[in-house]
Amino acid sequence: MNHLSKHFRLVSRFTTLQTRCFAMSSHSSSGQRKSANPKSPSSSSKSTTTSSSSSSTGPAFFPPIILGGATREQIEACPFYAPSPPEPHSTLDQPYSPPDPIWYNSRRDGPPDLNVPGGNHSVNIGDQFHDNRYKVVRKLGWGSFSTVWLAHDQQLDRHVALKIVKSAKDFTETAELEIKLHQRVSSANPDHLGYHHMAILLDHFTHEGPNGTHVCMVFEALGENLAGLNSRLGNGGIPQSVIRDVGRQVLLGLDYLHRECGITHTGIKPENILICIEDIEKLIRSELEKQHNTKTSAPICTPQLQSFSASSRTNHSKEDHSPIMVKIADLGDAAWSLSHRLTNRIQTRQYRSPDVIVGVPWNQRIDMWSVGCLFFELLTGNYLFHSPEDSDHVDQIHLMQIIDLVGPFPLEMALSGRYTHGIAHEIASYNYKQAMSCQEWNLEIMMSFYGFDKSIIQCLYRMLQIDPSKRCEAKEILDDKKCWLGAEK
């Protein structure tokens, strides 16, 4: 009841602030907008409740003004996101129990374009690749440009993850760049602590098939990703101490990737953080014996752990004392840091940084924004930002949410963006209205609602700075003894 009463007090307060904001908007901006919106809510409009993501539900609030001429219906598709009351967190003494059996059905049996020139290669269990070295055991999953298979390395008698890329030219070129990036990761500085938190490329080759020539990559076999773990523990059920350990490992991996390798990942999200499994060979062999003829596809799930506070595990570095070890995977969208690309076709929407959204030259610090969004999600079970991709105003909605929580938006950055033509003045207007009337509702209040320590809030703020020049780097956090994800306490 304490959480609920506090929640409804926040709802009431924000509704009042929202009404004041919209009243100011209607009074001060009439005649200034290029496209008036007759369907805009009146000053007496109230917030309603909607579900803004498949992974979380709860009250949501409509932004006090509308950017880019969006209708109320378009804004309602993804309103300002407010958290639902948090679920009870697991304790360190509670065991983690994954689903049984270890293999479970995936959302689909396979990709849709197996028999199309330029598409995926059709693979059957038992197929062998690269001079019969790698024998396919089962499917692990598939993505937009490849399929991934569990295979047995018959030369070294170990199991690996075999990634087979579509044969179209664009996919081949992307895969060739990914191989170069992985080769840099493998050789840059193996003594760096972050090296042990990067998924390592073991081998690569090409394979001729009926749909063309496919680039194939071989990786160490790892467990499920953080998205699967978080979901099965009840979204927000991972203990804070474990999230902190995972956070430090991700930052170590990014520090290695950024400073030692000169690479920007551009795709940090729970799906690309994989869990290492101690003695994975024993686990795989045991499950394959049990389910020899099973043909369903799935990732390798993390085995049962006696406790999150357990200390028995393989020692890779002095940092690795936590009951869980993770590695950053998938460099398919990564880029050399010195390329200074302007494209905004990077980063999954929920983890996309404002510099990418508006179209200014971005650098390695876009990964830090994604890390901030990632750890808010792990801590709460909710997205920090969530905009509908099918909306014509998805960027405007996303920018409003950012200003609501961590604004104001730097005007110079808005004016210089390639994708903010025509809405920069509205960003400035929204900055002003938030500063005048709605400044009480921000990330700190949201995090306080969950009862998180101030050190967590301060740490997230450092990663969620809109201005990339003020956004922290991974090493800054790692070296800061006062920071929640900082040096060992």
Q: Helix, strand or coil for residue 153?
A: strand
Q: Helix, strand or coil for residue 217?
A: strand
Cβ-based neighbours of 284, under 8 Å, separated by 6 or more:
150, 159, 221, 300
Residue type, 392: D
Rounded distance, CA 134 to CA 154, Å? 6
Residue type, 35: S
**What stretches of 69-165 show up as alpha helix (H) in DSSP?**
72-76
Cα-Cα-Cα-Cα dihedral of 10, 86, 488, 250, to 10°? -110
Rounded distance, CA 315 to CA 321, Å? 7
Q: Which neighbouring-strand residues pair with 96?
A: 305
Instruction: List the structure tokens of 87.
Output: 């679920």
Beta carbons of 148 and 216 less than 8 angstroms apart: no
Q: Helix, strand or coil for residue 149?
A: strand
Backbone angles phi, psi at 20, to 5 degrees: -65, -40
163 in a labelled binding site: yes
Q: Which neighbouring-strand residues pair with 101?
A: none
Q: Helix, strand or coil for residue 225?
A: strand
Structure letter (DSSP) for residue 411: H
Q: What order of strands is seen across the sheet that includes strand 212-220?
A: 128-129, 134-142, 146-153, 158-165, 212-220, 201-209
Cα-Cα-Cα-Cα dihedral of 314, 318, 319, 325, to 10°? -10
**What stretches of 188-279 show up as alpha helix (H) in DSSP?**
226-232, 240-255
CB-count exposure of residue 88 (10 Å: 0-12, 13-18, 19+): exposed
Instruction: List the structure tokens of 379.
Output: 């801590």
| Cis peptide preceding 98, ω within 30 of 0 | no
Q: Which neighbouring-strand residues pair with 148?
A: 141, 163
Beta carbons of 150 and 285 less than 8 angstroms apart: no
Beta carbons of 301 and 223 less than 8 angstroms apart: yes
Cβ-based neighbours of 133, under 8 Å, separated by 6 or more:
153, 154, 155
Q: Which residues are annotated as a binding site for ATP?
A: 163
Q: Which residues are annotated as a binding site?
A: 163
